[in-house]
Structure 1
Amino acid sequence: MTDDRFHRAVYVISVAAELAGVHPQTLRIYERRGLLAPARTAGGSRRYSDADLALLERIAELTDEGLNLAGVQRVLELERTVVELKAQLDDARRAHERQLAELTARGFNLGGLVPAVPASRAVTIYRATRGPASVVEPVTRAG
């Protein structure tokens, strides 16, 4: 099923209720509680999509597990947050991969997070660490 069709609001309330196995009044209650937001026609009639029916199935699963409607609402909010965060993480990963590829193409040795330069151009710098003055830490940088 295409994404467009999945989200297309086509079912009237009686058909959606029958498909979901609930009373039409239950759908109205879910809407009032903010669990469900069906599309509306120009005349104000509710229209439900396959996505709405999938959500009704999830609500039924949660209520069957013993959650009240407030609990169901919280779980649904958290599930939406997880989906959003996963999308953000995927975007960040793709951006990171693009940046790594860009740096690699410019000649950076990303294994050591130090630019890859010929040994003849590399400069070694010593930085004193805390503690006795004789303790030093080598740091290699491109020069």
Structure 2
Amino acid sequence: MAGDGDTERLDHDGGTPAEADGAGARDAADRDGRGVYAISVAAELVGTGQQNIRQYERKGLLTPERTDGGTRRYSEQDLETLRRIGALLDEGLNLAGVKRVLELEAANRGLTEDNRGLADDNRELRADNRGLKEDNRGLRKDLKRARGGD
């Protein structure tokens, strides 16, 4: 039964359960980027053919990890990319268009992250600036008192 196999895969993926090792979210993020799926499993999970996945790799749309023996290993992130490729193809884009969209989306994610960092830096600089203005007011008062202008 297909449902029973799906349940078994969800129950045990061959690794240590996150709760058992105490690492939680960090391990989940590590698993997302680690290549664990063979091409046959990846193809089945995203609903495409193995030859399509190989072609996507040749076109530079994704680069799976490789074992020492050269076997492709796909991560959760790779599966997400494969799903995105499928969605873009369904929308009528060709592989060159898909590659460009993926590149632009990656650039956008990078710029968004940069923007968050700059916004954080800006908040810190504003706080520093308020502190410096306060210091400046205090120094002006001290100088005025020292000159006898108080």
Q: TM-score range by the shorter chain?
A: 0.7 to 0.9
Residue number in structure 1 paired with 2:12: none
**Residue correspondences, number:** 117
Aligned equivalent of 1:86, options 112, 116, 119: 112
Tell me, in whole angstroms, the C-alpha distance in 2 between the residues paired with 1:92 and 1:7.
26
Structure 1 letter corresponding to 2:35: A
Residue number in structure 2 paired with 1:75: 101
Structure 2 letter corresponding to 1:82: N
Kindly state the Cα deviation for residue 36 of structure 1 after the two structures are TM-superposed: 1.0
Kindly state the Cα deviation for residue 20 of structure 1 after the two structures are TM-superposed: 1.1
Segments of 5+ residues of structure 2 without an aligned counterpart are 1-24, 145-150
Kindly state the Cα deviation for residue 107 of structure 1 after the two structures are TM-superposed: 2.6
Structure 2 letter corresponding to 1:62: L
For the pair 1:96 / 2:97, whether they are aligned, the reply is no
Aligned equivalent of 2:37, options 4, 8, 11: 11
Classify the secondary structure of the residue corresponding to 2:85. helix
Kindly state the Cα deviation for residue 66 of structure 1 after the two structures are TM-superposed: 0.3
Aligned equivalent of 1:43, options 69, 76, 81: 69
Classify the secondary structure of the residue corresponding to 1:107. helix
TM-score normalised by the chain length of structure 2: 0.71
Tell me, in whole angstroms, the C-alpha distance in 1 between the residues paired with 2:118 and 2:40.
43
Aligned equivalent of 1:59, options 57, 60, 85: 85
Larger relative contact order (Cα-Cα within 8 Å, sequence gap ≥ 6) = 2
More strand as a share of residues: 1
Tell me, in whole angstroms, the C-alpha distance in 1 between the residues paired with 2:111 and 2:131.
30
Identity %: 46
Calculate the aligned-residue CA RMSD, in Å.
2.2
Kindly state the Cα deviation for residue 106 of structure 1 after the two structures are TM-superposed: 2.2
Segments of 5+ residues of structure 1 without an aligned counterpart are 109-114, 123-143
Kindly state the Cα deviation for residue 116 of structure 1 after the two structures are TM-superposed: 5.2
Q: Rg larger in 1 or in 2? A: 1
